[in-house]
Amino acid sequence: MSWHTVPLHKVASLESGFGFPREYQGDENQEFPFFRVSDMNIAGNEVLMENHSNTVSAAILKELGARVFPAGAVIFPKIGAAIATEKKRILTKPATYDNNVMGAVPKAGTNPKFLYYWFLQLKLSDQANPGHVPSIRKSVMEEIPFPVVAPSEQFRIVELLDEADRLRRIRREADAKAARILPALFLKMFGDPATNPMKWPVVPLSDFVNAVSRRNPSTSPDEPFQYIDIAGVDGELGLITAVKSMVGRDAPSRARQVVKWRDTVVSTVRPYLRATALVPKELDNQIASTGFCVLRPRESNGYAWLFQLTRLQWFTEQLNARARGASYPAVTDADIFQLLIPLPCDSKIFEEFSGQYESVSKVLLTAGASSEKVDALFNLMLQRAFSGELTAKWREGHMNELLAEMAQQARVLNLPMPEELEALP
């Protein structure tokens, strides 16, 4: 049995968000959550939008010309670099969202969780208009083919994927606990930089890092290189998880910073100020996006201390306090270099911490490899779910009820009657 497909707009309404002036932001005690792209990064909002930073009343919604969307709508970024993060989330209560977000509101007969999982295997970047500021058009999304699956089979697919996703999250929670070892070790050895209990001298970060050169890859047309951008950095794990392979003639025209092994790259654009990573050996002498500041320690054995410093919440808060701009608040390299930090005086403590960092990192890398396998299996299940393979055997045992549901769907969506029904006497 093969599934029919229909344009997405037949099974879900594509809805863009609304402008959200600054003067209405910050109130958390009104009736309706008003979500922004950055709210997708709040802890606990990895799938379901449970937590929020802004709310509005019905009166404010009317004043803004906005409206509320129902629970079950699937939301995602529709403009800028956030598209490349491929975030998709589900509303858990009536809420609205800003004009950097688009939502798909499921129609009758479409399971919201089924719609969400379908979106997980859809690459938003492929739907975006190319350009300096990528964006997704409603008209493009509306025409994407969507499989017409009987409600009971949708429910069965959701059951299977929910269980697989639960196991994947257990693995990630274990990884998150392990990842807290290094920050705890840092604080034990160096103290909290916010209070500086060790009484280290307080100096600008520039006293510890060197300026990093820039070059324009396009000046060497046939030179291959790896290109790190924000979408390739896992802000939670502090790892570079993906890079773009390019040659000089394909490179952006502006000069980029050349990274070295054990440099720390720090994102300078909100909401990605948490995106910091340590450059691995295989990316030595490659290129970082202009959205990064590259930090290179003057003391070679200070690389682990510097990286862990940038991973602290304290560091992120310092950058947020310096961010400027309305649409895309950002910091400059100078803002980061001028940041005042407590700097340990003893180089031996850097060496000791680096040794312990390497030991713990090996364990974390092993755990990370296990997580990658779990994620790969989940992605395989997603692929099989929407090819029909995941529930093929289950379908055989529920054929009669499925045929009845499919006939009803065919009438509602004005589709041809399923061949299996046409063949019946």
The tokens for 93 are 């209560």
The pLDDT score that the predictor gives to residue 271 is 65
- The partner residues of 259 in beta bridges, in order of sequence, read 286
The pLDDT score that the predictor gives to residue 418 is 62
The pLDDT score that the predictor gives to residue 243 is 83
The pLDDT score that the predictor gives to residue 254 is 65
State how beta strands 48-49 and 89-91 pair. Answer: parallel
- What single letter denotes the amino acid at residue 186? F
Label residue 44 left, alpha or beta by phi (over 0 means left) and psi (-120 to 50 means alpha).
left
Q: Which residues are CB-contacts of 423 (< 8 A; sequence separation ≥ 6)?
A: none
* Residue 419 CB coordination number (10 Å): 9
List, for the chain, all residue ranges whose pLDDT scores fall below the cut of 70. 1, 216-220, 237, 249-255, 271-273, 367-368, 417-425
Q: How far apart are CA 24 and CA 20, in angstroms?
A: 7
Q: How far apart are CA 262 and CA 277, in angstroms?
A: 9
* Residue 262 CB coordination number (10 Å): 20
DSSP state of 72: T
Would you identify the CATH topology of the domain 202-343? Adenine-n6-DNA-methyltransferase TaqI; Chain A, domain 2 (3.90.220)
CB 89 within 8 A of CB 74: yes
Q: How far is CA 77 from CA 126, 192, 289, 341, 352, in A?
A: 13, 35, 21, 35, 43
Q: How far is CA 250 from CA 175, 284, 286, in A?
A: 37, 20, 15
Domain 1-148: assigned CATH number: 3.90.220.20
Give the start-to-end residue ranges of the domains of the chain.
1-148, 202-343
CB 403 within 8 A of CB 418: yes
Q: How far is CA 3 from CA 390, 403, 410, in A?
A: 13, 12, 11
Q: Measured on CA atoms in the order 284, 289, 290, 294, is the torsion positive or negative?
A: negative
The pLDDT score that the predictor gives to residue 239 is 78
The pLDDT score that the predictor gives to residue 425 is 42
Q: How far apart are CA 188 and CA 418, in angstroms?
A: 66
Closest CA to 94 of 34, 38, 29, 22: 34
